[in-house]
A and B are shown apart, each in its own frame.
Chain A
Amino acid sequence: MNDQPLDYSILPPDPGGARPTWDPSAAAAGLIATAVLALAIYSGSANLLHFDAALVGYTLATLFLAFGATYRLVTWSRSPAARRYLSKSRKALLPRPLGDGTLTASAREVTSTVLLQRFIAKRSRPRWLAHQGLFWGVILATLITFPLTFGWIHFRAVPGTGSGYYVYMMGVRAAHLDALSLLGWLTFHALDLASLLILSGGAYFLWHRWSTRGNSLTQLGRDLMPLLALMAISVTGLALTVSSVFMEGAWYQPLAFVHMCTVVLTLVWIPFGKFFHTLQRPAMAGVGLHKELGVQKGGVAQCVRCGEPVEGTIFLDDLKQTMGELGLGFGDWVETCPSCKRLERGAAYRNHVKEGYR
């Protein structure tokens, strides 16, 4: 036996942790993504004419996010399993000739796994509801704040109306809005609604973390911090509304600074921790469909020992290729079902290790 001291750490392992080695080509891809975004910001804001310099902190954090997220995506996609399934997922979701039902199947899969996240509902309905709050709150906030920060959307007062605004998108006048109308109120308070969605979902998860003993021990650092980050953004964002609506702008500047700090830290953090699942899961959205189509096409493989169904033949072939690329030399063992693997090992132990064990 190897003689390493075992000093169990309370800190939990971090799934999806970044690869420790520096990857120059992934860094190059990250730099390209950053440059493309910077160019899009420059041109979309009419050469920075509509860019709000007060929001430069958000922009710099987003540029870093573009670099970090691309870097992580590239390094992640290098592993044989990820590369294979990213390709299969994309192929399964790509619309093929209309009329064969695959377009509908793709749309259904994306709606189910990415937008509605039905797999969470099957684990726990309250958790699903809470996650939907977090998900749609973040989506809403992202769709509003990113274009605003980049100067892609800006508002201009309609002269002589008092409450009328023109909405410009990429420099083009796209809509007219009355701030006192219901639509206007919803538009100018959409971020407040996003904050409330996030806070309601976050409150459930916070309670869940606190009340589940196992979770409180093993997932404190990894799960709690991202949750607190989202809630801090929401609380400080709502505080800005409270300051402007109810406090005549008192404390607005320091609150705005604190809010920016919470957002910037979170954006910078996205590529490195739990938040990265927001990119990984959608990228794998077609794997379920790939497996389904694979069974239709290639049938189901039977266990070589007991004859019971194991998995789709195409799925097992994929896995054998992955294992081969990883240097795992027992790829054919996948043709034996897990139960029979255990029984075969038990029989081998009885026959070759402890013969008297009957």
Chain B
Amino acid sequence: MTKKALFIDPGRCIGCQACVAACRECDSHPGKSMIHLDYPDPGNSTAAAPTVCMHCSDPVAPCAQVCPTDAIPIDEQGIVGSASEELCIGCGNCVHACPFGVPKLDLVEMLQSKCDMCYDRTSQGKLPMCASVCPTDALFFGTQAELMQKRPGVQAVDIFGFGDETVRTNNAMVAPAGKNLDRIPGGYSREPDSRE
């Protein structure tokens, strides 16, 4: 594999917040962290779940598709950027359409922002800020071959299931190698009718 991507392994995340702090140092959004670090079961578990933009490739970036002003850029490599300042009207479509819950909306500035894989850095061959400081490789940036060389007991999965729908992404999640997975469950499995 020659493609470089972020490989996310929540199982290795210790919730130290180093990625959150480092993200704030990125030149493209100084002072604002674009990464989400959630604690799924606080009080009962130390588990933590980092969320970066997965840069959806199929369907291509739902956030950009629902943007009424074409404000969200996608480059030739499929990297989905933050909304353009001159075009974003702060409507929030992208925030709610994203199946991963990634984009952030500043309601004062009426401006969306999101993880852009540290475009400034990765375009210069550097690691994204989060991956550069992660002490446990819960956020690993590199090729899949590099990941497998470092951690032979894992597999990378870049397909997510949301109900009957699947979303393919440029970044991937890490799963145990022996696990028979055709997709990573996205958390959305309920049928609309069952919620009534």
Please report A residues at the B interface, Cβ cutoff 8 Å: 1-10, 12-17, 76, 79-82, 84-86, 119, 122-123, 212-214, 217-218, 274, 277, 280-281, 284, 287-288, 291, 304, 310-311, 315-316, 319, 322-323, 326-330, 332-350, 352-354, 356-358
Contacts and interface: CB of A to CB of B under 8 A. Distances in A.
Contact of B98 (A17, A122, A338, A353): A338
Contacts of B2: 3, 5-6
A338 B187 CA distance: 12
Contact of B162 (A3, A15, A281, A330): A330
A4 B65 contact: no
B130 to A, nearest CB: 15
Question: Quick one: which of A274, A339, A344 has the most chain B CB within 10 A?
Answer: A344
B86 A353 contact: no
What DSSP secondary structure best describes chain A's contact surface?
helix
Interface of B: 1-5, 10-11, 26-30, 36, 38, 40-41, 45-47, 49, 51, 57, 59, 62, 65-77, 79, 81, 83-87, 89-93, 95-103, 108-111, 119-120, 122-125, 144, 156-158, 162-165, 168, 172-173, 175-176, 179, 181, 184-190, 192, 195
A254 B35 CA distance: 54
B1 to A, nearest CB: 6
Contacts of A343: 38, 40, 49, 187
A337 B99 CA distance: 10
B38 A328 contact: no
A2 B3 contact: yes
Top 7 closest pairs, chain A to chain B, by CB: A344-B187, A13-B73, A214-B27, A338-B101, A341-B101, A346-B49, A345-B187
Nearest to A310: B96
20 contacts: A6-B3, A12-B73, A15-B87, A16-B70, A16-B71, A123-B85, A214-B28, A277-B87, A281-B86, A326-B65, A327-B59, A329-B163, A329-B164, A332-B195, A337-B101, A338-B102, A345-B51, A350-B10, A352-B185, A353-B185
